Structure 1
Amino acid sequence: MDILRFITAGSVDDGKSTLIGRLLYDSKNILIDQLEALEKQSKNKNENGVDLAILTDGLRAEREQGITIDVAYRYFSTPKRKFIIADAPGHIQYTRNMITGASNSQLIVILIDARQGVIEQTRRHSIIASLLKMKNVVVAINKMDLVDYSEEIYNDIKAQYDLVAKKLKLENVNYFPISAFNGDNIVSKSEKTGWYQGSTLLDFLENVEINQNQEQENPRFQVQYVIRPQTDELHDYRGYAGEVISGIYRKGDDITVLPQNIQTKISRIENGGKEVDFVFTNQPAVIHVEDDIDISRGDFLVKTDLQPKVENEMEAVVCWLDKKELNEGNKYFIQHKSKTVKAIVKEIEYKIDVNTLEQMPVTDSIRLNEVVKVRLKTASPLVFDSFEESRSTGNAILIDETSNSTVGAVMIL
């Protein structure tokens, strides 16, 4: 089974946590002891039945205030697919949490309160989805029970969001009229929306196409570990272990080792301790090459005719995640998959307004939650694709040299 990673986003009280709780509850992915604890905590809070939001709002402050503060991850599965859900906060000051959760997601579920329609926060989360090149957008028009399941209101909100999607060039937008509180059109079809002819939300999530044609993806493999046992039985064994980031690798392929730019051939491929003829996207593998080459952790093995960029200067969009401010000339570590090198911020070109995507001049230091375009210079060359070409090889993080904290999320242009 494949895995779908998706994120829920929306304004405060739009019902993100309740929606996730409903998916877990109605698909019977809650253990008995979890259910008992949920019922007990719900009774302590109110007498209106089970509060499904408690399943994802794990922090005490979240439960007390009824809001989501940090990104919560939940895992569940159905007979068709496994799911990893990120529940992101709705508050403006938690923009960094939203971007962090969305960076590894293949799909975004944007919740809209049927009573409110498209609001500023809806546009903000849609802009972030556009910025992160999200391929699939689900618009869940929630709380339909509070507007008497009105088809007219649903169509009006759909028309409002169509304008937003068109402006931001969002593709594959799908709409669902739901009630997370009552479970309408989430796991089971609702009789109260007889005018709605589409599928349930879960049915859509189970069947949506998430992987591109692997034959068309540029093959990327980064070495995570060099296996060199040096035992009597495996005296000459040298394999390069890692995960296939994208594409397909076959025995006999002509490859180039980057950043060294040395050409060789794949002599053998192992997967799960067995020799195989090929490996593809997301599979772990040990690759052997014909020639004796000095290959280290962080090096890339790529198809000779489909090479990425190898540069020590790059333009990037950075979402600032730290309370310490960002200034030109600051030095950090940049971690790109398994490779970590020193980097300097050569130039901050402009700020990006997350409400409009407009470019704004930089007049001061860059603060927490702000998004900027910068020029970075690294101590040694990095092997990368642009974020638009490949989210996997086009992202990185900036790490503070002294505290070792992650301070910036990087999308390479």
Structure 2
Amino acid sequence: MDLLRFVTAGSVDDGKSTLIGRLLYDTRQVFEDTLASIERASQAQGLDDLNLALLTDGLRAEREQGITIDVAYRYFATPRRKFIIADSPGHVQYTRNMVTGASTAQLALILVDARKGVVEQTRRHSALAALLGIHHVVLCVNKMDLVDWSEARFREVEAQYRGVAAQLGIESVTVIPLAALEGANLVHRSPALDWYEGPTLLEFLETVEVPNRGLDAPLRFPVQYVIRPQSREFPDYRGYAGTVAAGRVRVGEAVRVLPLGATTRVAAIDRFDEELREARAGDAVVIRLEDELDAGRGAMFVAASDQVLPATQIEADVCWMTDLSALEPGRQVLIKHTTRRTRAVVAALIDRLDVEALARVPEPSALGLNDIGRVRLRLMEPIVADEYATSRETGAFIIIDPATRHTTGAGMVRAVHAPVPAGAP
């Protein structure tokens, strides 16, 4: 079975946590002791029925306020597929948490209340999904029971959202009417929606094809750790541990080690107590090289034929995640990209995304909490970065405050500027 990662998003009280709770409940993924706990908590809230949102709202503050604050991850499986769900919060102040949940997702479920239709947070989360490279969006028109299961209202909301998706360049949109509280059209069809001929939500999730773009990208292997046992059994062992970020690597293949620039060949690929002939994107392995090179944490293995050069300047879309300070031109920051850290200077703020109008405002003076804008960064040390559309893993980074060491932003690379090699025409 393959694995599908998806994130739920949308505005406050659109029913995200209830949808996930009902999906887990109707697919029999809830243990008896967990169900008993939810029953007690529901009774304590004065409810006659189960509050299935409590299956994901695990923080005390979430249960007291009836909102989602942190990202909750849930796992379930059907005979056809395995799933990892990231339930993200709907409040504007927790937009940064939505970015965290969506950063590894292959598909986004965006919920809207059938009564309210598309609102600002719907557009904000859709814009973030597009920026984060999520090309498949399922619009769940929830609470259809509160609009008398009206097909006309469903079509109206669908038309609203397809207009937003077209503006954002979202490639694939599937729209499903449902009522999460009742479980209508999640796992089982509802007679009240007999006018709808498409799949239920679970049917869609089990059958949607989401290609792994990382497999088709050029080889990128960031070194995380150098293994030197120096034991009697392995006196000369030198292995480079890490996770293949993109592409594939095979034993005998010629690779170039950056930023060193030296070329060598792969002598062996180890995983636990076995040797592999090939490792692919997502595989955590140890690579041994034919030559002993000065390559440590932060080094990057690429194919020898790949002419990529370490970048000294990048342009990126940044989501600013702190209200303690703003991102301004001239500010010095730390960049963590794959396994490498480097200092950088904000050379320019190119624009800011106006979420309401879905337009870009040129040359803002600063980016504040939850703002999204395009930034030019000048790097103190070069990094091997790719455009985010090519590789999520090597096209993403986080911004760290060098004084507090707090994570203050997340970025997606849109353009890479490498120095021209000496002697180039």
Change (3 A) 1:309 1:18: farther
Task: For 1:391-410, list aligned pairs within 5 A.
Answer: 391-410=392-411
Q: Deviations over 1:337-378 (max 9, x none)?
A: 111122222222332223334232456443211222222122
How far does residue 37 in structure 1 lie from its aligned partner after superposition?
A: 1.0
Q: Which amino acid aligns with 2:122?
A: T
Task: For 1:98-113, list aligned pairs within 5 A.
Answer: 98-113=98-113
Change (3 A) 1:154 1:363: closer
Q: Alignment partner of 1:197: what SS?
A: coil
Aligned equivalents of 1:66, 1:337: Cα separation in 2: 36
Aligned equivalents of 1:241, 1:5: Cα separation in 2: 25
Partner of 2:50: 50
Task: For 1:77-226, list aligned pairs within 5 A.
Answer: 77-212=77-212, 216-226=216-226
Q: Which amino acid aligns with 2:235?
A: H
Aligned equivalents of 1:34, 1:268: Cα separation in 2: 46
Q: Alignment partner of 2:310: what SS?
A: strand
Aligned equivalents of 1:70, 1:373: Cα separation in 2: 26
Partner of 2:389: 388
Partner of 2:340: 339
8 Å CA contact 2:214–2:391 kept in 1: the answer is no
Task: For 1:287-298, list aligned pairs within 5 A.
Answer: 287-298=287-298
8 Å CA contact 2:77–2:83 kept in 1: the answer is yes
How far does residue 309 in structure 1 lie from its aligned partner after superposition?
A: 4.4
Unaligned runs of 5+ in 2: 415-425
Aligned residues: CA RMSD: 1.9
Q: Deviations over 1:62-104 (max 9, x none)?
A: 2233222222222223333332222222222222222222222
Aligned equivalents of 2:177, 2:6: Cα separation in 1: 19
Q: Which amino acid aligns with 2:194?
A: G
How far does residue 133 in structure 1 lie from its aligned partner after superposition?
A: 2.3
8 Å CA contact 1:127–1:355 kept in 2: the answer is no
Change (3 A) 1:308 1:186: farther
Q: Deviations over 1:290-343 (max 9, x none)?
A: 122111112111112335441121112211112222222222221111111222
Q: Which amino acid aligns with 1:138?
A: V
Change (3 A) 1:347 1:363: closer
Aligned equivalents of 1:16, 1:63: Cα separation in 2: 14
8 Å CA contact 2:140–2:178 kept in 1: the answer is yes
8 Å CA contact 1:127–1:356 kept in 2: the answer is no
Partner of 1:356: 357
Correspondence 1:16 to 2:23: no
Task: For 1:292-307, list aligned pairs within 5 A.
Answer: 292-307=292-307
Q: Please identify runs of 4+ aligned residues in structure 1 that moved more than 6 A.
A: none
Q: Deviations over 1:148-174 (max 9, x none)?
A: 322222222222222222222211211
Partner of 1:411: 412
Aligned equivalents of 1:398, 1:256: Cα separation in 2: 28
Change (3 A) 1:3 1:215: closer
Aligned equivalents of 2:24, 2:59: Cα separation in 1: 19
Q: Alignment partner of 2:223: what SS?
A: strand
Correspondence 1:311 to 2:311: yes
Unaligned runs of 5+ in 1: none
After superposing the two structures, state which structure 1 stretch, 167-176 or 121-130, moved more. 121-130
Q: Alignment partner of 2:408: what SS?
A: strand
Scaled by the length of structure 1, the TM-score of the pair is 0.94
Q: Percent identity?
A: 48
Change (3 A) 1:327 1:381: same
Partner of 1:262: 262
8 Å CA contact 1:140–1:176 kept in 2: the answer is yes
Aligned equivalents of 1:299, 1:22: Cα separation in 2: 46
How far does residue 213 in structure 1 lie from its aligned partner after superposition?
A: 6.2
Aligned length: 413
How far does residue 237 in structure 1 lie from its aligned partner after superposition?
A: 1.1
8 Å CA contact 2:398–2:410 kept in 1: the answer is yes
After superposing the two structures, state which structure 1 stretch, 166-175 or 90-99, moved more. 90-99
Partner of 1:320: 320
Partner of 2:38: 38
Task: For 1:68-83, list aligned pairs within 5 A.
Answer: 68-83=68-83
Partner of 2:418: none
8 Å CA contact 2:215–2:280 kept in 1: the answer is no
Q: Which amino acid aligns with 1:369?
A: N
8 Å CA contact 1:4–1:81 kept in 2: the answer is yes
Partner of 1:240: 240
Scaled by the length of structure 2, the TM-score of the pair is 0.92
Q: Alignment partner of 2:156: what SS?
A: helix
Aligned equivalents of 1:330, 1:81: Cα separation in 2: 46
